[in-house]
Amino acid sequence: MLISEIIRRKRDGQTLNRQMLDLVMKGIADDSIGDAQIGAFAMAVYLNGMNRDEAIALTESIRDSGQVMRWDDLDLQGPVLDKHSTGGVGDLTSLVLGPWVAACGGHVPMVSGRGLGHTGGTLDKLESIPGYDVTPPDATFRQLVQDVGIAIIGQTGSLAPADKRLYGVRDVTATVESIPLIVASILGKKLACGLKTLVMDVKVGSGAFMPTPEASRELAEAIVAIGCGAGTTTSVLLTDMNQPLADCAGNALEIQEALRLLRGDGRNQERGDGRDSRLYTVIRSLAAEMLIQSGLAASAEDADRRLDRALDSGEALERFSRMVHGLGGPADLAERADHYLAAAPVEIDLTATDAGTLNAIDTRELGLAVVELGGGRRNAGDAIDHRVGLSQIAALGQAVEPGQPLLRIHGASRADVEAASHRLRRAVTLSDAPTEAPPLVHAALRQQDLSGPRKSEETQ
């Protein structure tokens, strides 16, 4: 069948079957389809949507456009599982979650990405560590997943190659905001890793990828339905991003925070402002969901016992250290983090000019300030300054007095810090009235929670 006829069918609102979608994705992957036809296909889907069966078929076609990992030849002693987030500011959950779940008996082949827009990227954070290789040979990746239980790397050219090219065209043809295309892009890459279980962290709030809570919920429901329909047990936690998840944002700063949490220092006793317990609670909620959905834990209570044991024994930190060393980083990172993780030469506090309670944070603006400091990319290929970022970020509901720090800016120069401070001051709103922080976990969605196809799968 001609590609133009498949595009015509979708343009006219008809349904595409798996064979048609396989032809399109194969053509995208092997470059036999030009960008014009890719753009026309994406726009047809954007305008007419897809029903649930179509969206599942599209996801499977992207998954199968390249290598699909198999693990049955390694005689693994636990399930293959993973977590993925729609991205946020100060969201370092993967760095802690992967080793923690591995220490509980899971095998986590985590293929992560770089920063996108205002959101930080797991790979950029890991590249703060000298020598860490995010593109190792397949044999090294598989060996670490088998022996250590965790390896966090970047997407290889052989995994879901159709997605990389399709996304690039979507980005310049105003077709990014399509639920079927978003879900197929996320799940196509993840399911190509041969997962049995996937837990998604979909953000809600001012720093979220989706613009409204309703849109985040639609995306979450579509992910569960399509992931399960494609044969992988999939669930979603909707978590809050109305403020940074950690009290820091920036690559090396977040590695330091991950190490602190893996040492067990994040549980309810730090600083008294709730910031660390907030981060710890979200990570623990995701970890428990992974253990329960994969069968590693029989109940929430069992998951709690396993997670406590893995953290208290030091096993979770050891798994992280072994992963770092196995991918070319220093063996003693956990013991000598200050030696290996570079610090910014200029640190200046942004202080409150008035008394009040912090009642709103434009989290997206905080993320863009990190990019402005050099901690993210304005253009593809830009170099990252891993030293820069923000720390000691005040929490929603926190009372401050004039002159009290709202956050600390880490920059390469005083000029950079002063430029970022103007953006940051606009991102923070104080009030005379007390403010209550939103819930950490807004909802949990699993297959049994879905009542049937929703609008999100039938329209853009």
Say yes or no: 275 and 376 in one domain. no
Asked if the structure places residue 66 within a domain, the reply is no
Does 373 have pLDDT greater than 70?
A: yes
Catalytic residue among 118, 125, 164, 190: 190
Report the percentage of the chain scoring pLDDT > 90.
79
pLDDT tens digit sequence for 24-47? 999 999 999 999 999 999 999 999
Q: Which residues, listed in sequence order, are joined to residue 199 by a DSSP beta bridge?
A: 83, 235
Catalytic residue among 93, 112, 122, 277: 122
Q: Is 83 a catalytic residue?
A: yes
Does 275 have pLDDT greater than 70?
A: no
pLDDT value of position 222: 95
Q: Is 456 a catalytic residue?
A: no
Exposed / middle / buried, residue 439 (Cβ in 10 Å: 0-12, 13-18, 19+) = exposed
- Give me the mean pLDDT over the 167-183 stretch: 89
Average pLDDT, the chain: 91
Q: Is 190 a catalytic residue?
A: yes
Does 451 have pLDDT greater than 80?
A: no
Asked if the structure places residue 167 within a domain, the reply is yes
Say yes or no: 140 and 282 in one domain. yes
Does 185 have pLDDT greater than 50?
A: yes
Catalytic residue among 52, 63, 83, 322: 83
Catalytic residue among 82, 124, 276, 416: 82
What's the pLDDT band for 87 if we cut at 50, 70, 90? confident
The CATH number covering residue 273 comes to 3.40.1030.10
Q: Is 158 a catalytic residue?
A: no
Does 459 have pLDDT greater than 50?
A: no
Say yes or no: 158 and 201 in one domain. yes
Asked if the structure places residue 86 within a domain, the reply is yes
Q: Is 82 a catalytic residue?
A: yes
Counted domains in the chain:
3
- Give me the mean pLDDT over the 406-430 stretch: 96
Q: Residue 417's closest CA among 382, 443, 391? A: 391
pLDDT tens digit sequence for 291-305? 999 999 999 999 999
What share of residues in the chain are helix, strand, coil (percent, to 5)? 45, 15, 40
Say yes or no: 45 and 100 in one domain. no
Q: Which two tokens stand for residue 224?
A: 């569960």
Say yes or no: 163 and 281 in one domain. yes
Q: Is 446 a catalytic residue?
A: no
Does 191 have pLDDT greater than 60?
A: yes
Q: Which domain holds residue 401?
A: 342-431
Q: Which two tokens stand for residue 137?
A: 């040979």
Catalytic residue among 59, 85, 206, 391: 85
Q: Is 185 a catalytic residue?
A: yes
Does 277 have pLDDT greater than 90?
A: no
Asked if the structure places residue 65 within a domain, the reply is no
Which residues are CB-neighbours of 313 under 8 A, at least 6 positions away? 103
pLDDT value of position 268: 59
Catalytic residue among 107, 189, 387, 408: 189
Q: Is 26 a catalytic residue?
A: no
Catalytic residue among 128, 175, 185, 235: 185
- Give me the mean pLDDT over the 380-384 stretch: 77
- Give me the mean pLDDT over the 113-142 stretch: 88
The CATH number covering residue 400 comes to 3.90.1170.30
Asked if the structure places residue 460 within a domain, the reply is no
Q: Is 70 a catalytic residue?
A: no
Report the percentage of the chain scoring pLDDT > 70.
94
- Give me the mean pLDDT over the 383-403 stretch: 94
